[in-house]
């Protein structure tokens, strides 16, 4: 066993070195791209070798420089992650006591501002990315403007003034730089990405990067479009607005792409997104039109610069589509009086996920199109055949779901489709001596999965666990019943006996305890799933990383083969690699359609290969209609503020739990009082709460505090 682990580590190390070399080489090409050295020497040399092929055509150079390296990284990363999964990194990190060498880089340096909470690591990469854009634009512009003179304009047969031509040139290079930002736009929203985990990132934690990139992309493209329109108006070239060239750039396609992008962009601002979420949700589908007309606008050759990220996103999107076609087996729902639900699904035993993972849900009876993410509260090790999510009734969609399951005549079966789970590939909580979890309202839900993970480690593996402190703030005492969900539906308070768990609960809007026993309103609804309902399972099976790598590699190879055949026997006989005799738009559409077909074929084949295993797991569902014994219930007993919760027979569940009425936690004092060389501080809840905790951890007054925010928003 030791030799196997050692050899696996060596292989992973070699793969990591190779991946970093390819990544650094790709980055160097991005940096050199605007220079004359690249354009007049490197690119010409590569084109002589790559663009003369009768199979690949004139786009061979860009395909080789920009597309192939990124897809190679994505494929090899899948192997790297698969080997990491075999090593069971989470348990090993807990046993060897390793500290995070990048802890200081992960500390927040910006707390309040347009970027939200930003760590030193994130700020450094953001500054470097902006520097890349500024460098590219300034270099492109400097090299171009130096050659623009009245004589050169006349030589090209243009009837335009020098300053007008320079303005048009500036607009052109803004579009080129916008394409650089577009190349990174889809990586953060590729939920099943094999690239993000390589850098310790998850899709849900990278949403803010997508937001930053989206604003940058649309700012550059809008400036690009506005400048060209201004030049056309000044020079009376109104016909350019309706120009769709047979070869070259199509202005109409660019205008349609920009309009779709603007429609999408305007609904992303907080004032619109928070008040009219459904408008934001549906207009985001305009990305399909935006990308399609963008490819028609610039042609397929130049699209290969941004294509890798979009290619990986389409693979992920298609796999999610296949997973969402199935109805999953919903077994029961725990209904709490604080408008909160815990849904319990049947799960394939082979499905593994880490704490703080999320899952997207769709309930067709409420909306066939809307998908909403929810935190998974269960633990795949502690509950091998169950998966639970917690839902707080706060919007129209969740309110309808709560009404369906809490009504006296609740349904016997609820059709549900899911996508996921998605989450970190490993956990690092055992690295800390003390783990402090700060939550506000429904922000407590990610911490249930963490506590259940520690229950598993302490009871099953007999591992030493850190001191756990849960600081939770609620508006009303009825929300204290959410602590019911700390244990699985079949759990017992004795499961917590091996944990050093301290819970401090704060009820901010009630000064005295209520006399109402909310435990009487807590009920469990048992459902009767259909025999066709399947357990929640990984769409690509237990070896999903290897299958994902196979899908990426095979779909790209299929794309190259099919386009090679089409180019050799259809495009090349007409065009002869001149880019003058074959429609640029037709070529772009052909490439786009073939790409989608290859992704669908490779993805479908991989899913079908795993279908038999998933079918065997589905047959394990038995006796679903029987109603097990009721789950534990946590009650509230009246008393003075600061009293301990007492609710037999679960007194051990809340042992050491203090409830404070009419006050907010003194977070600074509580965090500074934490002992240990490494104190992990996790926060999930309202924006103000996250900012307050981040400010405390970044104040420099305590070197042992290590901050981490769990949130979809920024």
Tens digits of per-residue pLDDT, 541-568? 767 899 999 999 999 999 999 999 999 9
Average pLDDT of the chain to the nearest whole number: 86
Most confidently modeled range among 217-226, 388-397, 522-531, 576-585: 217-226
pLDDT band of 714, cuts 50, 70, 90: very low
- What does the CA dihedral 238, 241, 247, 249 come to, rounded to 10 degrees? 120
Q: How many residues does the chain have?
A: 714
pLDDT at 199: 87
pLDDT at 286: 95
Average pLDDT over residues 508-528: 76
Average pLDDT over residues 122-149: 94
By percentage, how much of the chain surpasses pLDDT 70? 89
Q: For residue 516, is pLDDT > 50? A: yes
CA distance 392 to 539: 27
Write out the two tokens for 434: 């003390």
pLDDT at 493: 60
CATH number of the structural domain 330-535+631-709: 3.40.50.80
Write out the two tokens for 395: 């919007």
pLDDT at 652: 37
pLDDT at 575: 84
pLDDT at 638: 36
CA distance 78 to 195: 8
Average pLDDT over residues 417-425: 90
Average pLDDT over residues 488-509: 79
pLDDT band of 522, cuts 50, 70, 90: confident
Give backbone dihedrals phi and psi of 388, rounded to 5 degrees, phi first.
-125, 145
**What do you get for the CA distance between the two ends of the chain, in Å?**
44
Inter-CA distances, 599 with 547, 550, 558, Å: 13, 11, 9
Write out the two tokens for 64: 């080789």
Q: For residue 40, is pLDDT > 80? A: yes
DSSP summary character for residue 536: B
Strands 679-684 and 705-709: parallel
pLDDT at 188: 95
CA distance 511 to 154: 82
pLDDT at 517: 56
Q: For residue 586, is pLDDT > 90? A: yes
Are the beta carbons of 179 and 298 closer than 8 angstroms?
Answer: yes
Average pLDDT over residues 509-521: 69
Q: For residue 334, is pLDDT > 50? A: yes
Sign of dihedral through CA atoms 243, 247, 253, 255? negative
> Which neighbouring-strand residues pair with 175?
none
CA distance 641 to 126: 46
Check residues 185 and 52 and name the one with the higher pLDDT: 185
Average pLDDT over residues 198-210: 89
- Exposed / middle / buried, residue 110 (Cβ in 10 Å: 0-12, 13-18, 19+): middle
Say whether 53 sits in a helix, a strand or coil.
coil
Write out the two tokens for 279: 């408008």
Neighbours of 594 (CB within 10 A): 18
Write out the two tokens for 490: 């079949």
102-113 pLDDT, tens digit per residue, is: 667 888 888 888
Give residue limits of the domains in the chain.
Answer: 330-535+631-709
Strands 340-346 and 386-392: antiparallel
CA distance 309 to 549: 15
Are the beta carbons of 85 and 668 closer than 8 angstroms?
Answer: no
CA distance 632 to 399: 25
pLDDT band of 99, cuts 50, 70, 90: low
Average pLDDT over residues 663-690: 91
272-291 pLDDT, tens digit per residue, is: 888 888 888 889 999 999 99
pLDDT band of 30, cuts 50, 70, 90: very high
pLDDT at 414: 93
pLDDT band of 511, cuts 50, 70, 90: confident
Most confidently modeled range among 233-242, 256-265, 459-468, 606-615: 256-265
624-633 pLDDT, tens digit per residue, is: 444 444 444 4
Q: For residue 58, is pLDDT > 90? A: no
Buried b (16+ CB within 10 A) or exposed e, 640-654: ebeeebebeebeebb
Q: For residue 446, is pLDDT > 50? A: yes
Check residues 492 and 599 and name the one with the higher pLDDT: 599
Check residues 676 and 96 and name the one with the higher pLDDT: 676
Residue 217: closest CA among 157, 290, 161: 290
pLDDT band of 85, cuts 50, 70, 90: confident
């Amino acid at each position: 066993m030791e030799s196997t682990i050692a050899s696996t580590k060596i292989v992973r190390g070699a793969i990591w070195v190779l991946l970093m070399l390819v990544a650094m080489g790709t980055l160097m090409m991005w940096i050199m791209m605007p220079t004359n050295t690249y354009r007049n020497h490197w690119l010409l040399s590569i084109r002589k070798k790559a663009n003369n092929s009768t199979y690949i055509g004139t786009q061979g150079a860009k395909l080789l420089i920009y597309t192939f390296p990124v897809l190679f990284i994505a494929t090899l990363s899948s192997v790297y992650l698969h080997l990491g999964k075999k090593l069971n990194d989470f348990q090993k990190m807990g046993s060897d006591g390793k500290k995070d060498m990048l802890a200081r880089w992960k500390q927040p340096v910006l707390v309040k501002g347009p970027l939200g909470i930003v760590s030193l690591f994130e700020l450094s990469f953001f500054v470097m990315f902006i520097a890349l854009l500024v460098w590219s634009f300034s270099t492109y512009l400097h090299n171009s403007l130096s050659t623009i003179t009245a004589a050169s304009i006349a030589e090209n047969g243009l009837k335009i003034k020098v300053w007008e031509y320079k303005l048009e040139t500036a607009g052109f290079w803004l579009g080129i730089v916008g394409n650089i930002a577009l190349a990174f736009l889809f990586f953060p929203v590729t939920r099943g990405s094999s690239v993000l985990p390589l850098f310790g990132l998850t899709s849900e934690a990278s949403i803010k990067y997508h937001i930053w990139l989206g604003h940058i992309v649309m700012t550059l493209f809008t400036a690009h479009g506005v400048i060209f329109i201004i030049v056309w108006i000044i020079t009376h070239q109104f016909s350019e607005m309706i120009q769709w060239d047979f070869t070259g750039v199509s202005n109409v396609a660019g205008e349609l792409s920009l309009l779709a992008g603007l429609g999408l962009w305007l609904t992303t601002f907080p004032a619109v997104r928070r008040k009219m979420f459904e408008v934001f949700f549906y207009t985001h589908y305009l990305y399909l039109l935006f990308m399609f007309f963008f490819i028609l606008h610039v042609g397929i050759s130049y699209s290969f610069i941004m294509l890798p990220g979009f290619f990986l996103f389409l693979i992920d999107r298609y796999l999610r589509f296949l997973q969402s076609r199935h109805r999953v087996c919903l077994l029961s729902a725990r209904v709490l009086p604080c408008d909160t639900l815990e849904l319990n699904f049947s799960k394939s035993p082979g499905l593994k996920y880490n704490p703080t993972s999320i899952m997207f849900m769709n309930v067709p009876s409420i909306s066939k199109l809307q998908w909403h993410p929810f935190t998974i509260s269960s633990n795949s090790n502690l509950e091998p055949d169950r998966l639970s999510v917690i839902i707080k009734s706060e919007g129209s969609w969740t309110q309808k779901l709560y009404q369906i399951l809490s009504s006296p005549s609740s349904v016997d079966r609820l059709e549900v489709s899911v996508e996921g789970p998605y989450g970190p590939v490993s956990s690092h909580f055992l690295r800390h001596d003390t783990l402090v979890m700060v939550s506000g309202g429904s922000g407590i839900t990610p911490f249930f999965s963490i506590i259940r993970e520690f229950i598993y480690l302490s009871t099953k593996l007999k591992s030493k666990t850190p001191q756990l402190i849960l600081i939770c703030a609620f508006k009303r005492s009825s929300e204290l019943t959410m602590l019911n969900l700390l244990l699985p539906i079949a759990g017992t308070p004795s499961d917590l006996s091996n944990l050093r768990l301290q819970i401090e609960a704060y009820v901010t809007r009630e000064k005295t305890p209520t006399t109402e026993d909310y435990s009487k309103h807590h009920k469990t609804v048992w459902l009767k799933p259909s025999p066709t309902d399947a357990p929640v399972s990984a769409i690509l099976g237990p070896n999903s990383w290897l299958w994902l790598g196979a899908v990426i590699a095979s779909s790209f190879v299929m794309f190259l083969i099919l386009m090679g055949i089409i180019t050799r026997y259809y495009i090349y006989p007409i065009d002869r690699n001149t880019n003058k005799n074959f429609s640029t738009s037709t070529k772009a559409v052909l490439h786009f359609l073939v790409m989608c077909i290859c992704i669908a074929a490779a993805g479908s084949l991989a899913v079908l290969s795993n279908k038999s295993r998933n079918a065997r797991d589905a047959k394990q569902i038995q006796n679903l209609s029987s109603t097990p014994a009721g789950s534990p219930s946590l009650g509230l007993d009246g008393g003075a503020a600061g009293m301990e919760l007492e609710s037999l027979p679960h007194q051990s569940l809340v042992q050491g739990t203090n409830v404070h009425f009419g006050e907010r936690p003194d977070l600074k004092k509580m965090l500074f009082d934490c002992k240990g060389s490494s104190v992990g501080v996790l926060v999930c809840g309202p924006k103000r709460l996250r900012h307050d905790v981040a400010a405390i951890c970044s104040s420099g007054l305590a070197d042992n505090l290590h901050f981490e925010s769990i949130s979809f928003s920024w």
